[in-house]
Copies of this chain bind each other. A is one copy, B any other.
């Protein structure tokens, strides 16, 4: 009757840079009855999400909420509300997402100082220090887990420098929260945001965000309203706090998914969850090296949740990724920006971080690489990886 076929998405093994797989109970939560966004029962669910977000961020911040959009909406809400025209922002850029923060900061009318490092290394705290000595800054922004490079940024030294200089520290936790250790209050982070579709393992569509009292004072002290009404944190907070002032119609079903996903994170326990991601990520990385491949990120700063591996000489990017998807149902990511065609990005996030996925991927990749002329040592890769998967 219709020329539009019925929905029938195939089942994938999601090992790209996100979305990750979701627990069946998270998907099922979205099928629960829709409530009105001002229903007392829904407000209770929002309050519970807020409580659980604080625990996962490890913060006591009052202002903790989820922006009604993907992780990028949380990024822009944080950047846009903390910067006014004429402010100076120091942005650490060592990958695609640092660039994105800088682009958003520029749209606020702020002066942006770019502090860079090669795509594969973290930002050196001394470089931030130098930029802070050059003049006062409202904001220092860094990316905790740079999804484009697989690099983990050391946070505490940068947080100390920002605090000494009287600047606020903004931390992008899109890919780290729920997978890599994150400790907002202990580290002294003033603003942080994440996404739901990475290590929290819910579908994309909401962005947990938290502001320290100092960051919240800065938002409230603005002389001009934020550039966007939709992403105005003053208005969003008035909906999330006890005022419940109408702003937008909350993404109800997505909030159910977030609630269930956060509960699963806390049931597993943050430390146990971090250990699981670490164990599986390292097993994958050792397996890839045993196969004969080179990892891209600095050895001392590798994420466990997202691994970048160099595409070997003579092997083409797209045919291998295409065959992984078509023949094995495995999704991995290609390189972004300068790394396009040079690396693959393999995510082991949340529900996708399993021993089975590590071994299935290595076995599939090894065979495909041999078909494409690279002498992958699949046996060695699997032996080494298996050994590392034991808790």
Could you list which residues of chain A lie within 8 angstroms of chain B, going by C-beta atoms? Answer: 1-2, 4-12, 14, 16, 18-19, 21-22, 27-37, 39-42, 45, 48, 51-52, 68-73, 75-76, 80, 100, 103-104, 107, 195, 197, 203-205, 225-231, 246-254, 256-257, 259-260, 263, 266-267, 325, 331, 336
Contacts and interface: CB of A to CB of B under 8 A. Distances in A.
Contacts of A246: 336
B248 A72 contact: yes
A18 B76 contact: no
Can you tell how many copies of this chain the complex includes? 2
A4 B36 CA distance: 21
B70 A7 contact: no
Nearest to A246: B336
B267 A100 contact: no
Nearest to A72: B248
A117 B42 CA distance: 34
Given A14-B36, A230-B231, A9 B256 contact: yes
Given A8-B32, A39-B325, 4 more contacts: A9-B256, A71-B249, A107-B229, A203-B252
A166 B295 CA distance: 58
Nearest to A77: B230
A19 B228 contact: no
Contact of A9 (B35, B80, B195, B336): B35
B2 A267 contact: yes
A324 B31 CA distance: 24
A104 B227 CA distance: 9
A36 B12 contact: yes
A170 to B, nearest CB: 15
Given A4-B263, A7-B259, A253-B205, A229 B33 contact: no
A8 B35 CA distance: 11
A28 B31 contact: yes
Most buried by B among A33, A100, A331: A33
Nearest to A51: B4
